[in-house]
Amino acid sequence: MAVKENARNIGIPGIEIPSEKCSDVNCPFHGTLGIRGRTYAGKVMSNKAGKTAIVQWDRRFFVPKYERFEKRKSKVFAHAPECLHIKKDDMVMIGECRPISKAKKFVIIKRIEAKE
């Protein structure tokens, strides 16, 4: 894997450095933001708020009383770096980072599948 000029590897296997440069301070590749903790894969529900995207994923929750699983959804705010060009309905991978604002504690690190 060739490292692009002025970019850094975030240390997660399978995550490639974007070919386009950006001047975002909170970009994990071209800025100073570090990734730690958990990673999730989800769908971008909205990206109307500047550099913020709302990412949602489904999960299964066990209900002991009925001994069955039910579907639940988790939804978080994530920082969307300029170099990844995230759009609504894209499948993305997000990683936990330090708090960027009151609500944003995740950053998008990879676009898994782009909506055509």
Domain ranges of the chain: 35-113
Kindly report the pTM of this predicted structure: 0.84
pLDDT of res. 4: 46
pLDDT of res. 68: 97
pLDDT of res. 2: 47
pLDDT of res. 7: 67
Which amino acid is it at 51? Answer: K
For the chain, the straight-line distance linking the first and the last C-alpha, in angstroms and rounded, comes to 28
CA atoms within 13 A on the CB side of 10: 28
pLDDT values of the chain reduced to their tens digit, one per residue, 116 residues: 444 456 667 777 777 888 888 888 888 888 888 888 899 999 999 999 889 999 999 999 999 999 999 999 999 999 999 888 899 999 999 999 999 999 999 999 999 887 76
pLDDT of res. 15: 79
DSSP H helix total and E strand total for the chain: 0, 5
Distance (Å, whole) CA 106 – CA 95: 5
Query: 54 vs 2, 72, 90, CA distance in Å?
Result: 31, 16, 11
Q: Which CATH class is domain 35-113?
A: mainly beta
Contact 94, 55 (CB under 8 A): yes
